[in-house]
Amino acid sequence: MSDSLKTSERLRVAFINPGYGDRGFWKDVRDTMQVAADQFGYDLVVFDSNRDREKMIDSAQRAFDMEPPADYIIAVNEYQQGSRIVLEAERRDIPVIMLLNGLTEPQQESIAHLSEDMSGLIFTLTPDNERAGFEIAQSLIDGARLSYSGGLPRTLCLLSIAGDRSTPASLQRLAGLDLALKQFPVLNEKRRLVAHWSYDVAFRQTAAWIEGGECLDAVWAANDDIALGAIDAIEQAGMTTGKDVMVGGLNWSEQGVQNVANGKMTLTHGGHFLAGGWVMVLLYDYIADVEILRNHPEITFRMEAITQKNLKDFDRILGARDWTNIDFSRFSIAHSTSGNAYHFGIEGLAQALVRD
């Protein structure tokens, strides 16, 4: 990236990370954010919360107590902490960006009673979780159609395993699942469980379901950890995933991609960890006064499914998971000579790879 893209004064950006900084999905979010921050010349300070509500509250306080203060705070509406963070930041005159999980309508209404213009929240960046939830369900039907030589059975016994009961991302993915259940009556949802995004919980839940003698043809999993837990339980019970039971997940995790490659998963939806990089692009454009980012906009980007059909394309673009190979300035409207829309996806990434 050219030095001309960097700001004259280095901005301090605090990220209240609800997850782990050394593994899993939130590490990828953190890492892509760090690479993009470095490219744009921002000082990024990350407070990891390790999927712990109390630690997340502490992380938020540490972000507020930074000296000198942060110029911007990036927060995630996990554990319904978003409204508190926005209001506290507004009192301190620190702009907030909501990432991946935006404020719910009740939260927005609550803030509106306490803030005239919600000036503390400058924009929100979220993926289209509903579409992802729908496409995971659809992939289970497609996988079964290929697996059953005699054609699809009349119904597929479906076990649905959600992430949690309150996070907007979880609820939106379930809304997509519900749409699929209405559209595809072949999916017969037998039970809907909540695994709290955990491999271990999903493993125990799936094992208990099988031990109870319940029918099982497909598992809709809200993320890859849940899918992987279900897969191991299914295989320990002597069944074969991808043949006897279809499983679909989400996150583009390394293990998820490997299981798509070996046929154990119908797909891993995702790409949304790149929102760590996208949010730095939007911050750069916000500072540059790009019109689309005025007046608290809610920017949504589409996630994409990795299947056996596009594995090679994915591996070519992101297989090494070396985010320094991406020039994030290529996604900036302010930096572009033409266009007024964001193209956050595989096609855009292919154009943004740094060539030797």
pLDDT digits (tens, 9 = 90+) for 150-176: 778 889 999 999 999 988 899 999 999
| Predicted pLDDT of residue 218 | 98
Q: Quick one: which of 85, 79, 80, 84 has its CA closest to 14?
A: 85
| Predicted pLDDT of residue 72 | 97
| Predicted pLDDT of residue 299 | 93
pTM of the entire structure?
0.87
Sheet containing 121-127: order of strands: 43-48, 12-17, 72-75, 96-99, 121-127, 298-301
Please give the Cα distance from 175 to 152 (Å, whole number): 25
Q: Are the beta carbons of 64 and 89 closer than 8 angstroms?
A: yes
Both tokens of 354, joined, read 């740094």
| Predicted pLDDT of residue 353 | 82
Please give the distance of CA 176 from its chain centroid, rounded to a whole number. Answer: 15
Q: Are the beta carbons of 139 and 305 closer than 8 angstroms?
A: yes
| Predicted pLDDT of residue 117 | 64
| Predicted pLDDT of residue 216 | 98
At residue 337, φ and ψ (nearest 5 deg) are -85, -15
| Predicted pLDDT of residue 15 | 98
| Predicted pLDDT of residue 6 | 45
Low-confidence ranges of the chain (pLDDT < 70): 1-8, 116-118, 337-338, 355-356
| Predicted pLDDT of residue 78 | 87
| Predicted pLDDT of residue 295 | 80
Q: Quick one: which of 275, 289, 303, 272 has its CA closest to 333?
A: 289
